[in-house]
Structure 1
Amino acid sequence: MKNERIDCKVILDKRRESKNHTYPLRMRLTFKRKRKYYSITTKLTEEDWNILNSESVKGQLRKIRNDIAKVEETAKDVIKSIPAFSFKEFEERFFNKRTKEEYLSFYFSEYIQTLRKNEQVKTAISYETAINSLTKFKKNIKPTEIDVKFLSEYEKWMLKNKKSNSTIGIYLRNLRSIMNILKEKKLISENEYPFGRKKYQIPQGRNVKKAIPLPYIKQIFDYKISDDNLFKERSKDFWLFSYLANGMNFTDIANLVWGDFSDDSFVFIRSKTKRTTKHNPHPITVMRNEYINAIIKKWGNVEKAKYPDELVFNHYCPTKIGYKSAVTLYSKGLQHKKLLFQNWGSTPDFFSMV
């Protein structure tokens, strides 16, 4: 059946006037000459309704008009999703969808799905962590509840729970991105947007990166795994591989294919910049040396080296993307790096070194 035969429009229902001379707004759905009306909880005078539909509308009435457009858009999306339309099926889908869309978590979830489709898994995890933290602070948050007071109280709560300014900044920059999307879609107004000058300022963390002194690098190279811990040995080797390959990201290591390699070098494009530089990519060349070759021989899928599209470290990265393996390699490698420094009596300052 053709959904074009279904008419959907929010109207001023003048059948019943309230004591304050307002009328309810209702969404009118017409199908096969049958009409049903659904309340959207807003009431207006006839004068305000006429202003609302004029070009000069502003302020609260403009916000109501944007809300009406959103309700109509949601209803039309639901109608398109129903193979054989019925009012009952529409009501079940529409009211369930509207309930979900009231909450901030819905928009985070939508954006996280987009990130995962774009294979930006680490960024998706960052957004998941942010919304988990925000909903732990306050359940069932609505976008319209995110104001300067809310953000200031959230910041205080995070500091009270021993979270750093860096962590707070990461979570709130993710929130700001979602609020930017909502503002672009006109789901919140400029006045409701809480970030910016003379509004809430996201705290900035200090992340001073320092290079590990060469004596410590040598100790990592020379360190012998004495307890036959295969995972610890692999973590050490992949950390060294990253170090020798110009600080190569573990996701990029997981995605290396044999086609990237020549006899004396290999080439890769950083995953962090691949999307932003896709029209002008900047390949990085890494010269192979005895250490890199030894790690490839030890952990690589060398029997598939003649196939250009095969992953170099396929055994440890079972999917083409290999993100879970990359994250595991990184986190375990970092844990073992800390353990090495602790064994040598180093201070915690070295833990964040690169």
Structure 2
Amino acid sequence: MSATFKLFHEEGTTKKEDQQVDQKEKLRPIKLRVTFNRKPREYSTVHNVTAEDYDKLDKPHISDNLKKIKTAIRKIMLEAEDIAEQLEPFSHDAFERSFILNNPLFDQRKRKTRKDNQQKKGDDFSKHEKKFMILRTPGIDLKGTIGHSYLKFVKEKILDNKIGSALKYNYSFANIYNFKGNIQLTEITTEFVKEFERHKIKNNVRKSAVGSTLRHLRAVLLDAFDAGLLVQNKKTYPFGKKKYKIGEHTKKKQKLTEDEMNLFFNTATDCENETMARDFWFFFYFANGMNPRDVYFLKYGDISDEFIKFVRAKTEDTTETTTEIVAYLNDDMKAVIEKWGNKDKDPDNYVFPVLTPGLDATDIDTAVTKRTRLIRDWTKKIGKRLEIPLTITPQLARVQFASDMSAAGSTTSFIKGSLGHQKEATTEKYLASIGFDEVKKQANILQKFKKQNNKANSERTAA
């Protein structure tokens, strides 16, 4: 996979101090966006122009100053692409060192040097040994081995409270270690990777699981290049064109029909776990397809009148931080809170008794995983009992929300904003433009699946 480059003009903000400023007259930097493995990084050039002048750059007749800027940014693009071709394998950090750092064409004020989190935060990981095989395996921290490089990743993720990500690297290491032991990084060749895949497939391991292991291995190798533990060599690097290509695991995004949704919603059951799982699933669905983890982090202070305003943690290891999302709190969601929520509605209390104050990152991850698995296991059982062909999982609620909103004609901007797939400024600007009444109106689309079935509704209420 090759890196892609794009020059763009930084968007305006919605901050109060900017509201009175004519955006056409406001100077903003021209930026270079570099995307690799679907992860973008942005770099501000030293060229600051107004939106009006930026639009003129593609026109034939412009001022001498704009001509100079136009020539400079063209040079940036050409040199960036040349540098990228020379980096084999490519990585963001290597590109920054080779092209961005100390380059007079880029603003250096916001550049951050990578720090070793272990040295900064300490290295007591004994309490994590039970959960992480890599931490309790003796003799693996030998420089130049996979154990040394994987261990660095795992410890950094733990220190950053990214337990889920740390576990993925731990799982990847365990797979490689159990296959060939604590081998040298130089032994990771194209033939090794192919042999590993054949071994796993022969042992009935899904190809998607193999791909997950190898994606994390690739990240470890790229980091080793950046750290100088391996020499960048296009002949020995196992991934890429004409070598081993990690398959993209894509699933056809299916959804429940309206009849299946109605059947699931109105199912009567005497089992408390079934009732809990169903209720939480529909809470996820009605709350903009909210991720289970974000639901468990909700506090009563996030509820205001008829709406929930919450901050969703962005995908791990991206440059984005947080995005506030607004969801309409309908009567069904209120009923779930009343039935399953904490009775003490102090603004600082969690809405649901899944998490408790004072938990560390590992305990939080354990609690989140335990509750999500419980919901998943029981919704799957409900689906089988109702003879619904599609497997019902918490993740399906998010897909169902997006599919139903799209089918009803909601705009892509609204759906992305509701899911938290846009930048913070873009989402806030869009929600501000449509207002909370429109959010409520759009949310009512999700009630469409309900049928006029008084008997079913009475049974559900009784359950």
Normalised by the length of structure 1, the TM-score is 0.65
Whether 1:237 and 2:237 are equivalent positions in the alignment is no
Q: Which residue does the alignment assign to 2:231?
A: 189
1:204 maps to: 248
Cα deviation, 1:303-322, whole Å, max 9, x if unaligned, reads 1x233x32222x32133763
Secondary structure (helix, strand or coil) at the match of 2:323 reads coil
Change in Cα spacing, 1:265 to 1:99, as seen in structure 2 (3 Å) is: closer
Greater C-alpha radius of gyration? 1
After superposition, the C-alpha distances for 1:101-151 in whole angstroms (9 at most, x for unaligned) are 343123222212222222222222222221112222222222111110110
Q: 1:8-87 alignment to 2 at 5 Å?
A: none
Q: 1:297 and 2:341 equivalent?
A: no
Corresponding residue of 1:100: 142
Deviation at 1:259, TM superposition (A): 2.1
- Hey, what's the Cα distance between the residues in 2 that align with 1:165 and 1:139? 21
Q: Whole-Å Cα distance in 1 between the matches of residues 141 and 315 of structure 2?
A: 37
Deviation for aligned residue 1:202:
1.0
Match of residue 311 from structure 1 = 350
Q: Does 1:138 align with 2:191?
A: no
Provide the aligned C-alpha RMSD in A.
Answer: 2.7
Q: In 2, Cα distance between the equivalents of 1:195 and 1:275?
A: 21
From 103, 117, 140, give the equivalent of 2:159.
117
Name the CA shift for 1:221/1:258 in 2 (closer, same or farther; >3 Å).
same
Runs of 5+ in structure 1 lacking a partner? 1-76, 82-95
Contact 1:301–1:311 (Cα < 8 Å) also in 2: yes
Contact (CA 8 Å) 2:274, 2:382: kept in 1 or not? no
Displacement, 1:277?
6.0
Question: Offset of 1:157 from its aligned partner?
Answer: 1.1
CA–CA distance in structure 1, aligned partners of residues 141 and 392 of structure 2: 49
Map residues 157-306 of structure 1 onto 2, 5 A cutoff. 157-191=199-233, 192-227=236-271, 230-273=272-315, 276=318, 278=320, 281-303=322-344, 305-306=345-346
CA contact (8 A) 1:147 1:194 kept: yes
Q: What SS does the corresponding residue of 1:302 show, helix, strand or coil?
A: coil
Where in structure 2 are there 5+ consecutive unaligned residues? 1-118, 124-137, 400-463
Task: Tell me the residue number matched to 1:150.
Answer: 192
C-alpha contact (below 8 Å) 2:354/2:371 kept by paired residues: no
Deviations 1:14-36 (A, max 9, x none): xxxxxxxxxxxxxxxxxxxxxxx
The percent identity for this pair of structures is 26
Hey, what's the Cα distance between the residues in 2 that align with 1:329 and 1:248?
15
Distance 1:275-1:145 versus aligned 2 partners, 3 A rule: closer
1:155-174 deviations in Å (ceiling 9; x for gaps): 11111122222211111111
* 2:25 corresponding residue in structure 1: none
User: Cα gap change, 1:344/1:98 in structure 2, threshold over 3 Å: closer, same or farther?
Assistant: closer
User: Are the counterparts in 2 of residues 183 and 193 from structure 1 also a CA contact under 8 Å?
Assistant: no
Distance 1:97 1:335, change over 3 A: closer
CA distance in 2, matches of 1:187, 1:271: 33
Higher RCO (CA < 8 A, seq sep 6+): 2
Matches of 2:244 and 2:317 in 1, distance apart?
Answer: 30
Whole-angstrom distance in 1 between the partners of 2:168 and 2:380: 23
Is the 8 Å Cα contact of residues 253 and 326 (structure 1) preserved in structure 2?
no
| C-alpha deviation, 1:284, in angstroms | 1.2
CA distance in 1, matches of 2:329, 2:293: 19
Shift of residue 299 of structure 1?
1.9
Post-superposition CA distance 1:246-286 (Å, at most 9, x none): 1111111111122211021111232234864646x432111
Q: 1:269 to 1:277 in 2, by over 3 A?
A: farther
Q: Distance in 2 between matches of 1:161 and 1:97?
A: 28
